[in-house]
């Protein structure tokens, strides 16, 4: 059916409504959708999938600073909690990628890095880029038990173990995630 080029007139729409009501006093969802397609004179277009906006360095910097209660990068560098967490790491905090790493670590997985696919991705995120054990294991942090963690880990290992054709780096990351979740539970 071709898409309509001119609008329907009021009498045409009234006739379509009467025809719809004659066939059914309380039309179903399918009947109403078929009616809408008739009025539209063709199928509806699927909505375009919007790409998530990439985070800017400023947005990521503000989020990380806020997380530690700091107003400036200098103040953040002097923050004891932040300094302790970065012991042994060399971070410039000057480039967008530096802030993206800190955003991933402290805030969340950036919108533009969700729903990814590939050999190192589980549940839509790249496990080598993002350390999000609850998300990767598909568990709720407030209701999960140690048995849930172990069960989820076993399921993931079936596909990501190097002996089963999985990536060794992903397997190591899964082990670290499991260990960190089990440590939280004790």
How many Cβ atoms are within 10 Å of 21's Cβ, its own excluded?
Answer: 11
Mean pLDDT score, 90-109: 87
User: Model's pTM, two decimal places?
Assistant: 0.58
For the stretch 174-184, pLDDT in tens is 999 999 999 98
**Same-domain pairing of 123 and 74:** no
Do 77 and 131 lie in one domain? The reply is no
Between CA 41 and CA 37 the distance in angstroms is 6
Are 133 and 162 in the same domain? yes
Whether residues 22 and 64 share a domain: the answer is no
Tell me, yes or no, whether 101 and 119 share the same domain: no
Who contacts 155 (Cβ-Cβ below 8 Å, separation ≥6)? none
Q: Rounded CA gap, 153 and 147, in Å?
A: 10
Is the pLDDT score of 95 beyond 70?
yes
Q: Who wins on pLDDT, 78 or 27?
A: 78
- Does residue 138 sit in the same domain as residue 159? yes
Q: What are the tens digits of pLDDT across the range 136-162?
A: 999 988 898 999 999 999 999 999 999
Task: Looking at the structure, tell me whether residues 120 and 179 fall in a common domain.
Answer: yes
The pLDDT of residue 1: 46
Instruction: Specify whether 34 is located in the same domain as 78.
Output: no
pLDDT interval class at 44 (50, 70, 90): confident
Give pLDDT, residue 35: 79
CA nearest to 19, candidates 33, 35, 3 = 35
What CATH number is attached to the domain comprising 161?
1.10.287.110
Per-residue pLDDT for 166 more than 60?
Answer: yes
Rounded Cα distance between 106 and 116, Å, is: 20
How confident is the model at residue 3, as a pLDDT? 53
* Partners of 121 in beta bridges: 126
Give residue 34's domain range: 1-48
Other Cβ atoms less than 10 A from the Cβ of 140: the count is 9
Last residue of a domain, one of 111, 126, 143: 111
Q: Would you say residue 171 has pLDDT above 90?
A: yes
Domains in the chain: how many in total? 3
Could you tell me if 126 and 172 lie in one domain?
yes
How is residue 185 annotated by DSSP? H
- The DSSP call for residue 29 is H
Shared domain for 68 and 37, answered yes or no, is no
Q: What is the pLDDT of residue 64?
A: 93
Render pLDDT for 31-40 as a digit per residue (tens, 0 to 9): 777 878 887 7
pLDDT at 113: 82
Rounded Cα–Cα distance for residues 67 and 104 (Å): 12
- Contact between 73 and 65 (Cβ < 8 Å): yes
The mean of the pLDDT values for the chain is 85
Residue 125 token pair: 């995120």
């Amino acid at each position: 059916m071709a898409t309509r080029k001119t609008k329907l007139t009021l009498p045409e729409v009234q006739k379509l409504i009467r025809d719809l009501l004659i066939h059914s006093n309380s039309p179903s969802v399918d009947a109403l959708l078929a009616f809408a397609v008739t009025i539209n004179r063709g199928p509806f277009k699927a909505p375009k999938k919007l790409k998530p906006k990439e985070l800017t360095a400023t947005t990521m910097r503000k989020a990380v600073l806020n997380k530690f209660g700091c107003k400036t990068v200098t103040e953040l560098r002097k923050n004891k909690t932040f300094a302790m967490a970065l012991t042994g790491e060399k971070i410039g905090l000057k480039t967008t990628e530096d802030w993206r790493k800190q955003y991933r670590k402290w805030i969340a997985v950036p919108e533009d890095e969700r729903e990814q696919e590939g050999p190192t991705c589980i549940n839509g995120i790249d496990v080598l880029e993002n350390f999000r054990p609850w998300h990767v294991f598909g568990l709720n942090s407030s209701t999960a038990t140690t048995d849930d963690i172990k069960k989820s880990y076993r399921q993931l290992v079936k596909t990501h173990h190097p002996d089963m054709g999985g990536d060794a780096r992903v397997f190591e990351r899964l082990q670290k995630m499991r260990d960190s979740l089990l440590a939280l539970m004790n």
